Amino acid sequence: EQINKGRYEHYMQKEIHEQPESLTTTMRGRLIQGGSCKATTVLLGGLKDHMKTIRRSRRIVFVGCGTSYNAALAARPILEELSGVPVTMEIASDLLDRQGPIYREDTAVFVSQSGETADTLLALEYALDNGALCVGITNTVGSAIARKTHCGVHINAGAEIGVASTKAYTSQIVVMAMLALAVGGDTISNQARREAIVDGLYDLPSKVREVLKLDNEMKDLAKQLIAEQSLLVFGRGYNYATALEGALKVKEVSLMHSEGMLAGEMKHGPLALVDENLPIIVIATHDACFSKQQSVIQQLHARRGRLIVVCSKGDAASVCSGGSCRVIEVPQVEDCLQPVVNIVPLQLLAYHLTVLRGHNVDQPRNLAKSVTTQ
């Protein structure tokens, strides 16, 4: 039943719209409410025998390719915050090219929807040879990465058919947020933060259902952008990953040139591209980076940039006070979970742009769902 398109025209469309359900499945049985006291325990069965080693590791290294790498990037700040362990990022092919240092005291986490990506698999073999504890986060039970890692977590997002990954991305982030809760100590000082994240996780499917209502608005935006050559996406903090992933979605399916950029780097080069024609999406939802993003928006307004701003509900007037821009308002959730909500309108935009431009949504030219050669 899962591999039937049902009432949808394309798998990508179906997979975007089923995210409230896939997220629910990802969390099922893993957030355990502790009887009379309100505390919630995160139960990731596949990791329970290794949790001590992960907590004591000198660093945690995330390894992945494409969308899976972006999901790990989105989860990095919360894992750093709750665990206190340094977290570094590796694109699998780059780790292999450099033969970068991996130590016995490291925990290396391999993130892969298919569990079969050649670069990620080779990086896993390399990390095993170097003696690291290897953890797999995959969507495919019995896949090579699931089999060869010491332990792991299945994201349980259900079969993903569209080449462009959508529901696996959001489920990967949720699994890694749960990993952060599981690894992070349950101290008095972080109790309120942990509770807020757990409450946020429970609410997430309904918030994603709410943001999916932007479908028509994103179709309308796609109509406006249909003939563009290029698109930039700026994000920072938790939503640097949203910028990279939103741009990746647009380029891989709609075949429009699109780049995700760290907003903090804008003045070190990308600002030269800004004029009244180039469309720029700025992710400016409410979190600790909000005032910095407001100043980015002001700088772009000063250069007459053509802005599309993704902001929290109720912030439209304040984010666009210095000039004209198109605003996409999304529901606000706990900051570390906001990337799950924020990517949805960009997935919808990529989908509609592709259909309107007449390209193959589910099988973009030159791409494969799983790249099993180097």
Residues near ligand G6P (CB under 6 A) are 65-68, 112-114, 117, 120, 163-165, 367, 369-371
Phi, psi angles (nearest 5°) of residue 166: -130, -70
Tell me the HSE value of 201 on the side-chain side, using a 13 A CA sphere: 28
Work out the angle at residue 60's Cα, subtended by the Cα atoms of residues 54 and 63, and round it to the nearest 5 degrees. 125
Residue 280 C-beta: closest distance to ligand G6P, Å:
24
Smallest gap, in angstroms, from Cβ of residue 253 to ligand G6P?
10
Q: Which is nearer to ligand G6P, 82 or 145 (by Cβ)?
A: 145
Of residues 134, 175, 125, the one with CA closest to residue 153 = 175
Nearest CA-CA partner of 257 in 234, 240, 233, 277? 233
Of 340, 344, 351, 339, the C-alpha closest to 328 is 344
Residues comprising the chain, all counted: 374
Minimum distance from CB of 230 to ligand G6P (Å)?
21
Closest contact distance (angstroms) between CB of 103 and ligand G6P is 24
Distances (CA, A) of 285 to 34, 55, 345: 32, 31, 13
Residue 109, strand partner residues: 62, 135
Nearer Cβ to ligand G6P (108/330): 108
Contact by Cβ (8 Å): 343, 310: no
Looking at the Cβ atoms of 176 and 311, the one nearer to ligand G6P is: 176
Least Å distance between CB 370 and ligand G6P?
5
Q: Which is nearer to ligand G6P, 332 or 370 (CB)?
A: 370
Nearer to ligand G6P by Cβ, of 31 and 371: the residue is 371
Shortest separation between residue 119's beta carbon and ligand G6P, angstroms = 8
Distance CA 342, CA 170 (A): 10
Task: Rank residues 335 and 362 by Cβ distance to ligand G6P and give the closer one.
Answer: 362
Q: Residue with the closest Cβ to ligand G6P? A: 66
